[in-house]
Amino acid sequence: MAGGAKEKNVSIDICAGDSCKEHKSKKLRMRLEALVEEWGLTEEVMIAKCGCLGRCKQGIAAELRPGNKILKELKPKHAERLLEQVITLLKGRSRH
């Protein structure tokens, strides 16, 4: 691995729209960012924010890329479970 500005394998885009903000989307994003650091996933997983995903009023919405899978009804307490799912996805893709 050369390091540097390598493209991440997975991106979790957390909605930062008004409705999701009310459901503490920033808290979820910050928790995910902390876990990515803690679990040593900074090379593979990017946490970002995005605009409204059209899934308002159902908790927090997020988009998982690649695949453009929309996740909804998330809460900050779901951060660990969400990241575990992403790790499973990564493992499935990069079998050695």
- Site for ligand FES, rule CB under 6 A: 15, 17-20, 52-56, 61
DSSP lists the bridge partners of residue 70 as 63
- Residue 10 or 28: the one with the smaller Cβ distance to ligand FES is 28
User: Which tokens in the block code for residue 50?
Assistant: 């995005």
Q: Report, in angstroms and rounded to the nearest whole number, the Rg of the chain calculated over CA atoms.
A: 13
Instruction: Provide, rounded to whole angstroms, the least separation between the CB of residue 57 and ligand FES.
Output: 8
Residue type (1 letter), 93: R
Instruction: Provide, rounded to whole angstroms, the least separation between the CB of residue 53 and ligand FES.
Output: 4
Residue nearest to ligand FES (CB): 17
Q: Are the CB atoms for 13 and 22 separated by under 8 Å?
A: no
- Residue 10 or 60: the one with the smaller Cβ distance to ligand FES is 60
